[in-house]
Structure 1
Amino acid sequence: MGCGASAGSTRTNSASTDPQPTTKAVVTPSSSSFSTLLNQQLDSNRIPKRDRRTDTNEIIQNFLLIWLDAKTDESNEDYHNSIKHLRRTVNTIKTFQDTEECIDYISKLQNEKAFLIISGALCQTVVPCIHNMTQLYAIYVFCRKQEKYEEWAKDWSKVKGIFIEIILICNVVQQSARQCDEDSIIITGISSLNKIEPSFMYTQLFKEIILEINFDEKKEINDLTDYARENLLGLIKYNQGEYNMAVEFYEKALDIYEKTLPPNHPDLAASYNNIGLVYDKMGEYSKTLSSYERSLEIRKIALPPNHSDLAASYLNIGSVHYSMGEYSKALSSYERSLEIQKLALPPNHPDLASSYSGIGLVYDNMREYSKALSSYERSLEIRNIALPSNHPDLAASYNNIGLVYDKMGEYSKALSSYERSLQIRKIALSPNHPDLATSCNNIGSVYSNMGEYSKALSYYEKAQEIWKKSLPPTHPHIALVKSNIDIIKKKL
């Protein structure tokens, strides 16, 4: 996080480019197979998503994929290749050429969620008829002219993108299915990681991966058990804002990996990345940069040049350079991340939003506010399409837009954005999460600039209370909010 001065008070920039820690299963040389427990994540405060192997038909069990196209030719080789790709992602696929038959089928679904691929020729007439059906979770428009439907799609939240290649749809269907799975978990009462008992979470996730690994030696089970315990506890403590304990657990997990994996294994890169994430939250930026650079070094050797994890590393390194005030280096890293992501990901993938957000942060601090606002708004646009309405990354985008309006002196717009950010964070985060304090501090800054000092003091004190509970006493934000409170008290 970086700080920017305003008239008489100090705002706190949102760490909207921070990724979420990753958790992976131990792989030992004699293991014949392994399952990735939790995916690499590229943005702050995401609940990690499970990543099942794509060579099983049980990848997505409670969903079905529906394909509606009046001109489908089942004898066509391209059609069969497309179905083959899709079956690697979802087990059940239903195809329709008749619109009414398709709509009737969706309306009668009871225990399954539907993902719909629809042709460009039909989307504008069919989507308005089915968009509000609870059985329908996501819609993907498959056409030859992407630009023809992009503006129209913005009005329909379930439309996850316009695609010209089936392989891109497969990738996004996987992500949507995982998100749908998470939404189902939330309904049962588990709304965030910090509300889950560590023993329960560990048991459930451990059980999932243990069933997919073939072991020859007892030592491998012990290694897996130790690693999973340390890494999952690190993840839980990270989400609870207990960063000193989180880094301790992650370093123990790294030590286990270094003893069991080759020196340039991608999972080692993930462990270094996790440690960097925690140091970043603690404000220890030199340690953060060292961990991120080691992670990138491994990924350059182990992964293809346009792999999305490389983009994640550049994104993280850019975030640290930004926090250290090295804006030209930050901009270079963010742009490199965006360059890779545009090649590797669909156009509305949330990771693209992270890079746009990072670029906006740099322009913001370079006082190029129109460029900053443009980047932030592009980031928010993608997130509104790709993420649930109360996702923490949306809060980060609103916070960043508020920062720009604040610096431009448009305080009513700034306050509106900050309040929307705080509203989302109250739903999505734990009561003492440091990002809640960020929102409170920034709202206090606006009220200070508007001359409403009693309201400003109230929000600053809320920020101080949360940061004292969630951050080390030497963290710069502790001093920041104390300074803001002292300034306001002199004006009352």
Structure 2
Amino acid sequence: MRRHANETVTQNTLVVWLDDQANNDQHHIVHKLERLMNQVQLCTDHNFFLYQVNTTINKELFVIIPGYVGQYVVPMIHDKKNLNSIYILCGDKAKHEKWAKQWANIKGVFTDISSIHEALKETVRQREENTVEITLTKVTHRISDERDWEPLENFREALLAIESNDEYFKDFIAHYRTEFVDDEHELNNIHQLEHNYHSQSPVWWYMSSNSLYSMLNKALRTVDIDAMVNMGFFLRDIHKQIQKLQLEQFSDQSANDIFKAYRGQGLSKEKLKRLIQNEKGLIIFHNFLSTSKDYKVSLDLAHQATVSTDMIGVLFTITIDPHKSIACCASIGQVSSLHDDNEILFSMYTAFRIIDVESINDSKRLYEVHLTPLSGNDPDLHKLTYRRQLSAPILFSELTSWNRLGRVLSNMRCYQKAEELYNVQLSRTTNDTDKGHIYQELAWNKCQEGKFDLAIEFYEKAVDMYQSMHPPNQLGLAEALLNIGHVYTRQNNYTKAIAYPQEAIAI
């Protein structure tokens, strides 16, 4: 069976559920839990339950136990290093909350298993948040082992510039299906999204589906170009909705409406060290960044991250001036399936200035990082924008959004993906001028790859296309001839390198 999109987050987890009165009805909820954690062990015997907990070493444990044995079992397991949390299932919540509050790793007392499922669902979402990728950058020098920001920003801009249509929606749905080809439950969810997409907002769909949320953010986190292009429709729709909400919420506000948003998560010790070293520099969050106006909730999430010995809890405190910031962000409470009025969502690949980093407890396991989004007059932004300029062939005509995306991919050395994208566009257009331009882009891609003979072949196809038109496309023809001359120059064939520009001038 194909692995679930969120399995990369939950594969090292195990839910151990003690229920000595288990029946066939439990199998349905076990299946639901497996969708979150992938591995669930239902135990009907106390000794077998303790054996499972005590012998599990390399997996993070989530334990569900009935209230009537809780006071007996919790002291026996609470100090296990790989125990993440305990959930108490009972019929008398008030009774068991009295003793449960003594144990920090008890997540809560619940009267039905569905509520525990929802709590675990939030835990999975938070684990996903802790994997959000960040890139650190400075204008003065490249930071080793960090991605360059400029190609990411070029890619983001090119992807968001493409107008959505039915074909791109179909591409998105097709990609989504390939991720869950053997999963009937998810295929049904995809069917619902396909046929009811416009009945809800893009942000609603993003926040309501764990699998879609996870799949999309995994692509952003790992810079999976294939997946991001295939999901471009959905990425654009989410961004545009945030943009629209931002205009509605901040266009009429006074200059005093500066506010703070918070985000609690875990960071690896190495990443935190690099972040501290990059103080006053820039930090770019790859994913759609979920933040909250609620300081306490965010601080609690940062505290929770310290449960893992590999993680340091970090509270990001973001000061936002909506009249200066160029960041795309908005409150999404009214359009989200979670209906949290405190939630502020930033669009993907948002850049912030790191103001300072400070430890906020004695153990050095919890830090606060003060950030502010970049403003339009930030001097570093202008320098980085200059560094983002793309190498390009000679081109007199306007570049289409898809061709620009292909050029960005080529500059990122994603030559195969750029070629695939151009070929798709070639198959979807009937306009000869557009075909000629696509052949030129295919040629430039091959030139960037160092395959000069293939580049010339594509330029010659463009020449043939322009010449076959009635009347011939003189501008396109001149472009192609000049670019053939450029390729021959790179091959040190100066005789032909001179001949083709002369032919172009004669047109």
| TM bucket normalised to smaller | 0.3 to 0.5
Structure of larger gyration radius: 2
How does the TM-score come out when normalised to structure 1? 0.37
Which gives a bigger RCO, structure 1 or 2 (Cα 8 Å, sep 6+)?
Answer: 1
How does the TM-score come out when normalised to structure 2? 0.36
**Greater share of strand:** 2
**Greater share of helix:** 1
